[in-house]
A = this chain, B = another copy of it.
Amino acid sequence: MQPNFSTRERILGVAETLFARHGFAGASLRQVTAAAKVNLAAVNYHFGSKESLIEEVFRRRLDELNRHRLAALAAVATNPGRQLEDVLDAFIRPALEQSMDSAGGAAFVRVLARAYAEHDERLRRFLSDNYGYVLREFATAFARLLPHLRKDELYWRLDIVAGALTYAMADFGMIKRKDDVSEQNHREQSAQHLVRFAAAGLRAP
């Protein structure tokens, strides 16, 4: 993290990186404050507790990410043909963009993957309370496009697809592109691969 940011921002950035690398329980506030070159007490001053710091790490990026996802999903609805791929794209592409945009965005995608693996009740409730409606929007869209699937079968597949995508995107954040491929091109190809991968899984009989 750049030292020219405010204390608060430096903590958030470093925490994001360390949570991605060691998990929420595995990264201590001491590691975070040391790496951010701020005082230990600063975390409690700015965030109140480790729990709240974790939530703030999510909030900082999820608000924007989900806004983009919903906008992309809305754009699909009016546009017939290739709809399953388009809905998947609406879910994947914003995460991909974010992971390559801002410094630290790549780390956040890994944090998301961690969250998916965590079964911590408080964390799950926080995410469900604040961002659950986004997933429900997508689930509704998928249900409309895959009417032949029973409800439980659909949810089962969506859960698998969500897990697969989350992890694929997390790993993707670490893939180095070749020098002869533009950033734009690389992102484009990767998104297409993931969409095709997921669509095939959802369409299975």
Contact = CB atoms under 8 A, between A and B. Distances in A.
Main secondary structure of the interface of A (DSSP, over half): helix
30 contacts: A21-B119, A22-B25, A23-B23, A23-B26, A23-B118, A24-B26, A25-B25, A25-B26, A113-B117, A114-B117, A117-B117, A117-B167, A160-B167, A160-B168, A160-B171, A160-B172, A160-B194, A163-B164, A163-B170, A163-B171, A164-B167, A164-B168, A164-B197, A193-B201, A196-B201, A197-B200, A197-B201, A200-B200, A200-B201, A200-B204
A157 B172 CA distance: 10
Interface residues of A, number: 33
Contacts of A116: 167
A193 B200 contact: no
B22 A120 contact: yes
A113 B168 CA distance: 13
Contact of A175 (B114, B120, B156, B194): B156
A120 B22 CA distance: 7
Nearest to A172: B160
A64 interface: no
A159 interface: yes
- 3 tightest A-B contacts by CB? A200-B200, A164-B164, A197-B201
A167 B171 CA distance: 13
Contact of A204 (B160, B167, B193, B204): B193
A19 to B, nearest CB: 11
A119 B119 CA distance: 18
Contacts of A171: 159-160, 163
A173 B99 CA distance: 30
Contacts of A196: 200-201, 204
A22 B119 contact: yes
A29 to B, nearest CB: 14
